[in-house]
Amino acid sequence: MGDCSHHNKPEAKPEQSKSDMPGGCCGPTPKEKKTGGSCHSEKQRPDYLLWVSSTIVLVCYVLYWLVDGHPDLPGWLVEMTSGVYELINQMWWGLLAAVFFVGLLDRVPRELVMSALGKGGTLGGIARATFAGLMLDLCSHGILMVGAKLYERGASLGQLMAFLIASPWNSLSLTIILVALIGLGWTLAFIALSMAIGIVTGLVFDRLVSKGVLPANPHAAVDDRPAESFGHQMSLALKSIRVSPKGLGSLLWDGLKGSKMVFRWLFFGVVLATAIRAFVPMDTYQTLFGPTVVGLLLTLVVATIIEVCSEGSTPIAADIVTRAAAPGNGFAFLMAGVATDYTEVMVIRDLTKSWKIALFLPLISLPQVLVVGWILNQFA
C-alpha cells in the first residue's frame, strides 16, 4: 500500500500532457509498478495449481495425438484425453483473443474505459456494461480476463457482474450456432432474458455496495468532477497510438502475464471437467433433464459441477431444449455456468480479494435463473 516512509512529500508534477497518455494497442507500454519500496518484499512462490493443472492438460493433449485409438488404453483415459483435446481446441482462439484484449485494455486510459461504460451505480452504466459483454466474441473463460481488467480500470462491482453474466454465450458465433440448433425465437428469448438478469444483478450489487454490505471497487475514481465525453477521450487515445511490431509483441506479453490468474483456474477446471466426463457418462444425466422442478435443479447441479466452456455448453443446452423438451433447463444450463461454477467464483475472489463478493454472485443471480427457467419450462 505504498512506501514505508511518508516523510518527504514529493513535489507535485505538472499535469500530464495529452501526448503522454498511454495509447491504444501498440502505444506506449505501461510502466510496471515497483514493489521495491514497500515495507515487506514479497517472495514469489511457485503457483503449484497453475503448473500442475497445465502440465496435466498438456500431457493429456499430447497423449491424445500419440495413442488415440490404442486398444490397450483404459476407457477413462481415452475419455479424459479426448475431452482435454476437444475443450482446448474449442477454447484456444477465444483465449488468444482474450489475451489480446487484456493487453489492449492495459494500454487504454482509465478515463476512456469509464467514459464508455458510464457511471457505476446507475441503470445507464449497468446497461452499457451489459451491452459491452454482448459485443465481445469470447468464451466464458476469456471474458473473465477482460472483466478483471475492466474492474482494475475502475468499473463498479455491479458493472463487472452485469458484464460477466451477459457475455459468455451471447457472442455472435455462438448465437448463430444456437439459432441453427434451437431456432431464432428461443435464441432471442434467451439473449433478452440473460440481459435482464445481468442488469438486475448489476443493480443489486451496486445497491449493496452503496449500503456498505459489499466493499466498493478500490480502483474506482474518487473525484466528483464530471467525466469528459467518450468521443473526446477516444480522440485523445487515437492520437497517442504508435503501431509497431515491438509494441504488438509487448501488448501480447503483457496480456499473457495479466491472464495468469484466469489460466490457473481454467486449466484446473478443464482437468476436473474431463475427469468427471471420464467417470460419469453423459447419457446418464441427460435423460434426467426433463421440464420438471427436479430436472431444473439437477441441471443446475450438473452445470455447477461440470466446468464447460461456452462453446461446449451451447450444444449440450440445445440438446436439452430439443431432446428433453425443457427450454428452461437449457437456459439454466447456459446461465448456471456463469453464476455457480468454481472458476468464476475463484477468479472473482482473487480479483476482489473478497469471498463475500464471490459468493454473492450465485446468491443473487441463481434465484433469478431458477424462476426464469421454471417459467420457460411452462412453454415446453
Q: Which residue has the cell 473526446?
A: 232
Query: Could you tell me the three cell numbers for 317?
Result: 443446452
* 3-class secondary-structure state, position 25: coil
CB 91 within 8 Å of CB 139: yes
248: confidence class by pLDDT, cuts 50, 70, 90 = confident
221 belongs to a structural domain: no
More confident residue, 186 or 97: 186
Alpha helices in the chain (DSSP H): 48-67, 75-107, 110-117, 123-135, 140-152, 157-166, 172-182, 184-210, 230-239, 245-258, 260-279, 282-286, 293-305, 310-322, 327-340, 342-352, 355-377
**Within 10 Å of residue 308's Cβ, how many Cβ atoms?**
24
Cell of 206: 451496486
pTM assigned to the model: 0.62
pLDDT at position 28: 46
Distances (CA, A) of 238 to 22, 23, 132, 261: 10, 7, 20, 30
Q: How many folded domains does the chain comprise?
A: 1
Q: Which tens digits make up the pLDDT trace of 317-350?
A: 887 888 778 899 999 988 876 666 667 788 888 8
- Give yes or no for residue 223 having a pLDDT over 50: no
More confident residue, 180 or 200: 200
Residue 40 has pLDDT above 60, yes or no: no
Query: Which three three-digit cell numbers place residue 39?
Result: 515495507
User: DSSP assignment, residue 18?
Assistant: G
Closest CA to 194 of 122, 131, 151, 119: 131
pLDDT band at 277 (very low <50, low <70, confident <90, very high): confident
Query: Would residue 31 count as lying in a domain?
Result: no
- Domain containing 310: what range? 46-216+228-377
Q: Is residue 347 part of a domain?
A: yes
- Residue 273 domain-assigned (yes or no): yes
Dihedral pair phi/psi, residue 207, rounded to 5°: -65, -40
Quick check: is 33 in a domain? no
Most confident range, picked from 124-128, 207-211, 357-361: 207-211
Q: Is residue 175 part of a domain?
A: yes
In a domain, 145, yes or no: yes
Q: What is the DSSP string of 138-205?
A: --HHHHHHHHHHHHHTT--HHHHHHHHHHSTT-SHHHHHHHHHHH-HHHHHHHHHHHHHHHHHHHHHH
3-state secondary structure of 217: coil
Examine the pLDDT at 299 and tell me if it is beyond 60: yes
Share of the chain above pLDDT 70, in %: 69
Question: What is the spatial distance between Cα 329 and Cα 327, in angstroms, rounded to a whole number?
Answer: 5
Residue 197: inside a domain, yes or no?
Answer: yes
